[in-house]
Structure 1
C-alpha cells in the first residue's frame, strides 16, 4: 500500500524515479557492491540520465542510502552535476553545495519541496532519482511519489545477496507496474535509447522503463 510523505500541503512533494540495474531475479548487489563489472556504457547511461535536467536553471537530485554513498569511490563523490542527498540515521546531518545528509526519505522529499519554492535567481530542483540501496528503494516504493522505475535488466546470471523489492517480470506486467514502450523511454530520458540487447565484458543487458499502472 502506497502512502504520501508528511509535508506542508501547500508544498507538493516531487515525483520520484527509481533507477536500478538488476538481474531477471531482481538481484542488485553482492557483499556491498555490484555483482558485475565492466559495464562502462551502462554506467555512462546512468550518468547521462541522472544529470540531464528538465529545463535550464534546474538541477537533478540523486537520493541514496549511506551504504550506497560509501560504495562510490571517494574521487567520484559527490556525483557531479547533481545534488546528492544521503539518508543516514548514524551520521551527523550536514549540507554543502553538492551534498546533504538527512535522516529519512520524507525529510529528503521535504527538502526538495522547499527548494522548489526557491526564488527565480536560484537553481531549482529538477528530476529526483532514488539510486539505492535496497532499503531506500523499499521506502520509496511505499510512497505515492514513486511513479517510475528505470531498469537496466541484466540478462546474465550472477550470485546476489541483495534484491530490488519489486518483481518486474520480463512479460512486462507485475506488482502494479507496467513496462512502457521504447518511444516513451526515449521521450522521458531525453535521448534515443537502444532497444537492442547490449553486451559488455560478457554481460548482456537491456534498458527498460516501468510506470505505476495508475499513472
Structure 2
C-alpha cells in the first residue's frame, strides 16, 4: 500500500525556501507550531501505535537544532546519497518501526524512503507522510505519483490578488504570512 505524500513548505513569494543553510526568516512561533501540529496529527482511522513520517534531505536534517532532532512524535527519514541503499530483502529487521524519538531512518533516495514506508511492520503503523525539504527532495516528491497536496506557508507577503484564504494574513515579529493548501486534482 502506498501512502499519499503531503509536501509542507514555507516559501517566499519567489518560492525561496532557504538561505545560508537555514530558513530565510526567524521567530515565527505560530508557523513552527502549525508545522508541528500538522505533521503530528494522525488520521482518525490510524491504529493507536501509529506515527506520521517526515521525509527530509540531509541538509534539512542538519538545519534542525540538535536539541530538536529527531522531530519528536514522528518517524524521521533522512535522505542522503551517502547513505547506503535500504533493501528490505537484505535487511528485513530494519522494516520494523524504529523508536522514532531516538534516531532517524537513513536512506539513499526518495524511492528507498517510500519502499521503507511500504515494508511490513511499518506500513500498517503509519499515519500520514510529509515531505519537509529541502529543494531536491521537494523536486523528487513533486514528480512522484504519491504526491497529493502541498501545504504552503508564504511569509513576506505585502499584496494579494483574488480571494482571501480562510484565516488570511498573519503577522508575527514583523513578518506577514498566510497558510495555503494546494491539492492535485
* TM-score (normalised: structure 1): 0.71
**Other structure's SS at 1:129 match:** strand
Equivalent of 2:82 in 90, 108, 127: 90
> CA separation in 2, counterparts of 1:16 and 1:170?
28
- Mapping for residues 1-215 of structure 1, pairs under 5 Å: 12-54=1-43, 55-57=46-48, 58-91=50-83, 96-98=98-100, 99-114=104-119, 115=121, 117-118=123-124, 124-156=125-157, 182=166, 195-212=167-184, 214=185
> CA separation in 2, counterparts of 1:116 and 1:91?
20
> CA separation in 2, counterparts of 1:110 and 1:126?
15
State the Cα distance separating 1:144 from its structure 2 match: 1.1
State the Cα distance separating 1:51 from its structure 2 match: 0.5
Bigger shift: residues 56-65 or 201-210 = 56-65
- Say if 1:34 and 1:13 are closer, same or farther in 2 by CA, change over 3 A: same
State the Cα distance separating 1:171 from its structure 2 match: 5.9
Deviations 1:26-52 (A, max 9, x none): 111111111101101100000000001
> CA separation in 1, counterparts of 2:170 and 2:60?
25
- Say if 1:170 and 1:29 are closer, same or farther in 2 by CA, change over 3 A: farther
User: RMSD in angstroms over aligned alpha carbons?
Assistant: 2.3
Higher strand proportion (structure 1 or 2)? 1
Number of residue pairs the alignment of both structures matches = 167
> CA separation in 2, counterparts of 1:117 and 1:40?
32
Bigger shift: residues 144-153 or 54-63 = 54-63
> CA separation in 1, counterparts of 2:113 and 2:27?
32
> CA separation in 2, counterparts of 1:92 and 1:170?
47
Deviations 1:125-148 (A, max 9, x none): 000000000000000011111010
Deviating above 2 A after TM superposition, structure 1's stretches of 4 or more consecutive aligned residues are: 91-96, 115-118, 169-172
- Say if 1:101 and 1:81 are closer, same or farther in 2 by CA, change over 3 A: same
- Say if 1:170 and 1:112 are closer, same or farther in 2 by CA, change over 3 A: farther
Q: Which runs of 5+ in 1 are unaligned?
A: 1-11, 119-123, 158-168, 173-180, 183-194
**Other structure's SS at 1:69 match:** helix
> CA separation in 1, counterparts of 2:12 and 2:77?
26
**Other structure's SS at 1:109 match:** helix
